[in-house]
Structure 1
């Protein structure tokens, strides 16, 4: 059933998210050649500077879709075999039996069993995912830290495994995607970031998407505010931050318009070929960092919209910033949303995030954006 864009409903929905407690957010929704762009709230809580729908933003793990697409291009060219052991490409990083048991595919769909390195790189998160026993001190300690990618990978590889290679449900882990960055460098002779820029970002004609070269977001952007489940009160600005802690897993800067363009072209088979796209849309159950079991493909996550079919895309968060981009399988309907506050939920006595009005307001915006 066709539901054309309703600007009044979209404007009301985005304003309701601001009223629920997000300082600022902005979005773009497309239906064929119909386009709505909207924004609500402020980009700077101190000055009241408003957000704008054209702002650049840290989009977190949406980066993984770009990295997965780059890997699939190299699969198409014959330089990477999807079901080959990662140890054959990177024996020093994943040595021995694990290197032979873990395949490239298992890295891309998070079924490698490799642990998340983040609690080891950020000591105040050592109890993660037990949120009540974590703290935000490491965020400030590492604002300008330049992490070595191989060291981060080593933390994840040497940590206790979270599952058997290929076992399901898989467990979402940034370690997988840092390894894919090293794999791309090994087979292309250039850094993952440079390869993705030339062969994914430029191929898609994205004008405002890039990997950061330093701790700053260039061009018009919002400040981004992290609350860490009420432990940072008031929420603190982390818009200046060295993103080497996530690299090809989650450091990309983009706009809502660029995200819609990218996912539209990806699902149209214009970034990778149709057979690669089919592989990317083969899903397995994966436990997310929030503890939910989701369906996950090769850098793509599906969402079912009642009466509208399947949407494909990805979400992402970093300290202070969040984004979600979803495109219907036929490419016609698209939605990208960016918010400048993260982890707004407070914890209950058992350390579980409590419901917050922002959650339902965002869900309502997504519903209006995806299917009216």
Structure 2
């Protein structure tokens, strides 16, 4: 027999993450019609202003699920071929042989072999993924930089390839999703942001979700604190930031309630059709930005919950902020969590991130949230 959500247990687990070192976090857990929302800690370490569960938040790469859904809508309409070469649509952005062999699907599931543009756009991050040899200076340099997506894409396309198109494991790269944004603009005649807003965000009835055009988060929100592996001490606030550096790959602002609503509707076949949803859940091995191999579909990835339950969703990180949204395969149990600190791990003498109590506290929160 299913046990009801335990507000005391959930609140305690949330508070433990705060005590482990996250300034503030908030979450929503749903089980069918039952809903729990909670918050712990502060939205501003200077004033002590508390976080609340309804705050708007930069949710990073969760944006990719929205962009993937928009692309698959266009696949359903016949304007985009899922296995068509990207060069058919964007020959100037992906020229030559690679444009002929890299397909739309390969962009969606990160098997294109295209490199990440970020270390080229942010010179102090040039050593990524070897974080010990990076520095956070570029984060400040580009607070208000308005990037041209075509220039960022060119950085990724002209960089040395990280794999063979269609080969596995794939390598996670924001270049893929900037290209998908340009693809949406090419076939719809409107910007990716406008198309996603009208056909994904508004279609799902999300009232507190947007792809921002400026550097500010409108409405109640938390400051966002970036530690960059202990190199920024104390962590610095990056809540005011121009998000053109990631656009349709990771710029979304949302709430934990809106994220649960979106993933619930997506997995119920209400954003894309059943055949598109089945394609989104076809996974391949992909090397994440943290260097782990994960199973990744088309803008979705699975995570195993307690027992044998499979959850589908996405996580996301920006400078100072992060979120995770997961929905059980049957759609009944959901969890969305947002945190206002990133890269809290310090590095050991070999340059590897050390374990941190926050990791265990978050894992415990996820277990409580997903256990029924």
If the length of structure 2 is used for normalisation, what is the TM-score?
A: 0.99
After TM superposition, give the deviation of residue 308 of structure 1 in Å. Answer: 5.1
Could you list the runs of 5+ residues in structure 2 that have no partner in the other structure? none
Instruction: Please give the residue correspondences for 1:86-165 in structure 2 after superposition, counting only pairs within 5 Å.
Output: 86-165=86-165
SS for the counterpart of 1:18 is helix
Matches within 5 A, 1:179-328: 179-307=179-307, 309-328=309-328
CA shift for structure 1 position 205: 0.2
Structure 1 length normalisation: TM-score? 0.99
Q: Partners of 1:259 and 1:49 in 2: how far apart? A: 24
Q: How far off is 1:4 after superposition?
A: 2.7
Aligned to 1:341: 341
Number of equivalences: 372
Q: How many angstroms does 1:304 deviate by?
A: 1.2
Provide the C-alpha distance between the structure 2 equivalents of 1:72 and 1:366, rounded to a whole number of angstroms: 30
Q: Does the Cα contact within 8 Å between 1:3 and 1:371 map onto a contact in 2?
A: no
CA offset digits 1:60-97 (Å, max 9, x no partner):
00000000000000000000000000000000000000
| CA apart distance, 1:3 | 4.0
Give me the whole-angstrom Cα distance separating, in 2, the residues matched to 1:100 and 1:146: 30
Secondary structure of the structure 1 residue equivalent to 2:70:
helix
After superposition, the CA RMSD in angstroms is 0.7
The answer to whether structure 1 residue 29 and structure 2 residue 25 are counterparts is no
In 2, the alpha carbon distance for the partners of 1:56 and 1:28 equals: 13
The whole-number CA distance in structure 1 between the counterparts of 2:184 and 2:259 is 22
Q: Secondary structure at the match of 2:310?
A: strand
**In structure 2, what is the Cα distance between the partners aligned to 1:308 and 1:16?**
26
Structure 1 CA distance, aligned partners of 2:277 and 2:331? 13
Maintained 8 Å contact 2:306/2:367? no
Aligned to 1:79: 79
**298-307 vs 218-227, which moves further:** 298-307
Is the 1:308–1:371 Cα contact (8 Å) retained in structure 2? no
Query: Partners in 1 of 2:197 and 2:367 — Cα distance?
Result: 32
Q: Deviations over 1:273-301 (max 9, x none)?
A: 00000000000000000000000000001
Looking at structure 1, the residues matched to 107 and 75 of structure 2 have their Cα atoms a distance apart, in angstroms, of 14
Indicate the residue corresponding to 2:46 in structure 1.
46
Work out whether residues 14 and 365 of structure 1, in 8 Å CA contact, stay in contact via their aligned partners in 2.
Answer: yes
Residue in 2 aligned with 1:18? 18
Give per-residue Cα distances to partners, 1:315-348, cap 9 Å, x unaligned: 0000000000000111100000000000000001
How far apart are 1:2 and its partner, in Å?
A: 3.1
Structure 1: how far apart are the matches of 2:290 and 2:213?
A: 29
Following superposition, the deviation at residue 349 of structure 1 comes to: 1.0
Would the aligned equivalents of 2:306 and 2:370 in 1 still touch at CA under 8 Å?
Answer: no
**8 A contact 1:260–1:327 mirrored in 2:** yes
For residues 213 and 140 of structure 2, the distance between their equivalents in structure 1, rounded to whole angstroms, comes to 20
Tell me how far apart the structure 1 counterparts of residues 2 and 245 of structure 2 sit (CA, whole Å).
43
Q: Write the distance in 1 (CA, Å) between the matches of 2:202 and 2:247.
A: 19
* Conserved 8 A contact 2:64-2:250: yes
How many Å apart are 1:213 and its aligned residue?
1.5
Structure 2 partner of 1:4: 4
The match for 1:57 is 57
Question: Alignment partner of 1:315: what SS?
Answer: strand
Extract structure 1 runs of 4+ deviating beyond 4 A: none
